[in-house]
Amino acid sequence: MNDDAPIRNQWISSLEVINKTGISRATLNNYIKMNLLPRPAVKRPETTDARARMLGYFPDSVIDTIIQIKELKKQGFSMDAITERLKQSRLTPAIDSGVMNMQEETQSKGARDESEAPLRGHFLSQAISGDAGQPFKVTINDITFPAYLLNNNYEIDWINKDAESSIFQEEIHTIKEPTSRNIFQLLLRSRHENQQARSALIDFHLSFVKGKAVKPELQHLYDGMSPRERENLEKRYNCIESPPRQAVNKIPLKLSGQKGTPIANDVYYMVFREGTLFIHAPKACQNQGIADLFASRSSVINDLLKQRMPTLVSFCVLVADLQNSVRICAELPPEEYFELINQVWACVEGTFKRYYGTYGKHTGDGLLYYFLKERDNQYMMNAIACALEIRENMKKLSMDWKMRKGWFNELCLNIGINEGQEYFGTIPSSPNIEFTALGDTVNFAGRLSDFARFGAIWATKNLINKLSVEDRSGIRFGIRHRENDREILIENSFGRVMDMIVPDSQNFNKFMDIATLAITEVVEKR
C-alpha cells in the first residue's frame, strides 16, 4: 500500500452530509427514521470553527447511499420501492427456513419431473425485475391465484378478486362490517354451489383455530352463532389436526369449482403478528414465485397492511407532545435541536415497543401510538404503564440537558390517553405504514395532551371505568385541589375540563370542545 495515498475520512458530520448532497435537514431526518441511514453518533466537533458544541457524525458511506436514493427517485421509484431495494442490496442471501425448504423441494422435484419446473409467469401477473443481477420485486398485487389475509379474529382483512370469485363466490370487499367478514360465518352461511369444497374450507381454517395453545370457546368464533352451527363446528374440531407451526408452509387442499374445474391443490400460508396470509395454488404451478414473495417478509406485510380493509377495533391511544417545543427550537442551535429530538425519540421508542405500541398518524408534531386489544388483552394497562415509564425517562433526559445547558427549561412530554372502538385503517400514500383511527377517541386524547402541563398524564373517565377492579387499584389517580397553600390529590376522583380552567382564562375558549369531558390525572403505579 502506498503510504502517500489519500486516506478517506471514516466519519462525516451532518453539516457536511447536507452540504455535499444538497438535501435538507428534514430529509436527512426522514431517511434516518426510515432506516435508510444509520442514526448519527453525537460527539464534539472535530474542527474548532464549528458553532455547535455537539455534532452528529455518520459513516462517510451515507453520501453514496443518498446519491443512490436521489438517482432512484429520478427514475420514478417510490420511497417504498427504494427502501426495499436498498434493504435487499444490504442483505446477504439469507431466506426464512420455510422458504428455503420450499425452494429445495422445488429443485428436487424439478430434477425428477421436468414438467413440474417452476412456472414463475403463472404465479405473477407481471415479473418486475431490476438491472441484471437484481432480485425480482414481487408484491401481493402480482398474485394471480386466490389469496386473502385473515386477522386474529378470523376476519378477512384483505382479499383479491380471484379468491372472491373462485373460493367464496361473493364480493367480500363490499362488506363494510368487519365482523360480517368472519370466515366461519361466511362459509357456514354461504350458498356455495359446491358443498364439498365449502366443507373442506371450513375444516381447513378450523385447523388453524385448533393450532392455538388453548382450546377456544367455539361459540366465540363469531357473534350470533346459532346452537346448530356451534354443534357443527364442535364435531369438526374434534376430528381435525392442527397445521405445522412454521413461519412459511403449505398444506394439500384439493378444491374444485362449480363445474368440477380444479381451483387449488396446495395452500401456502405465512403467519404474521397481524394475521395469516393464505395463497391457493394449483399443482401445475410450483412454488418458486411464492418463495420469491415470501422471501421478502417485511414487504409482504407492509403491502397487506396498506391495502387491508378498515376494521372496527377496540384500542387505547396515547398522544404525547413536547412542551414548549417552538421556544426550545428557537433557543437551540440547529445541530443541538436535531440532537435533542433524536434523544427524545430514542428515549421513548423502546418503551413503546416494550408495551406493544403501534405508531400512528398524527397531524401535529407530537407522538401518537395505538395499543390494540386484538394484539394484547392488557392493552389499557399497557398504555398507562407506557406513559408512566416515558415520564420517568424524560425526567432523566431533562436533567442531563439542564446540566449541559445551564438552563431552567423542563423537557416534558405532556400525555393524553383514551380508549374506544373505532374503524382502524392505514394511509396508503405514506412511505411508511401509518395507522389511523377515525373518530373522537383519538381527538380526545390529542386534546388532553394539549391540556396537560409539566409532563402530566391525563386519562378519560371512560378509560379508567373499563379497567378491572384489580387494575384500577394498582394505579394512583385523581384530581388535584388547592387548599390555602397546599395542593391535595383527591384520589379516585374525576373532574370536567371546564371545572379545572378559570373562566376568564385565555385557555377557557380553547378547550370548549372538550369542556364536559370527565378526566383524571394518572399519578403513579402503586
Whole-structure pTM value: 0.57
- Closest to 388 (Cα-Cα) out of 466, 320, 489, 481: 320
Ordered DSSP codes for 396-432: HHHHHHHHHH-------EEEEEEEEEEEEEE-TTSSS
**Residue 59 and residue 322: Cα distance in Å, rounded?**
30
- Closest to 299 (Cα-Cα) out of 78, 121, 69: 78
The pLDDT score that the predictor gives to residue 434 is 61
**Residue 359 and residue 367: Cα distance in Å, rounded?**
8
The pLDDT score that the predictor gives to residue 246 is 62
The pLDDT score that the predictor gives to residue 78 is 77
All three cell numbers of 203, joined, read 375444516
Q: Which residues is 460 bridged to in the sheet?
A: 519
- Closest to 147 (Cα-Cα) out of 135, 161, 134, 136: 161
All three cell numbers of 310, joined, read 378498515
**Residue 299 and residue 490: Cα distance in Å, rounded?**
50
- Tell me how crowded residue 136 is: count the other CB atoms within 10 A of its CB: 17
* Fold held by 11-90: Multidrug-efflux Transporter Regulator; Chain: A; Domain 2 (1.10.1660)
The torsion defined by the Cα of 495, 500, 506 and 509, in degrees rounded to 10, comes to: 20
List where CATH 3.30.70.1230 sits in the chain.
311-525
- Closest to 201 (Cα-Cα) out of 291, 263, 284, 143: 263
Across the beta sheet with 11-13, what order do the strands follow?
Answer: 11-13, 55-59, 41-43
**Residue 322 and residue 318: Cα distance in Å, rounded?**
13
Give the 3-state secondary structure of residue 197. Answer: helix
The torsion defined by the Cα of 390, 395, 401 and 405, in degrees rounded to 10, comes to: 140
Helix (H) or strand (E) holding 210: helix 195-210
Look up cell 438517482; give the residue. 71
Ranges of residues in the chain whose predicted pLDDT is under 70: 1-9, 43-54, 88-138, 192-193, 213-214, 245-248, 256-264, 283-289, 292, 361-365, 375, 426-435, 438
The pLDDT score that the predictor gives to residue 431 is 52
Q: How many CA atoms lie within 13 A of 135 on its CB side?
A: 22
The pLDDT score that the predictor gives to residue 56 is 78
- Find out if CATH 3.30.70.1230 is the number for domain 311-525: yes
List where CATH 1.10.1660.10 sits in the chain.
11-90
Percent of the chain as helix, strand, coil, to the nearest 5: 40, 20, 35
Give the 3-state secondary structure of residue 89. Answer: helix
Give the residue ranges of DSSP H helices in 408-501. 440-451, 461-466, 469-473
Report CA torsion sign: 59, 60, 61, 67. positive
Cα–Cα distances in Å, from 269 out to 122, 136, 281?
A: 18, 20, 11
All three cell numbers of 468, joined, read 378491572
170-220: pLDDT as tens digits: 899 888 788 889 999 999 888 766 788 888 999 999 999 988 766 777 877
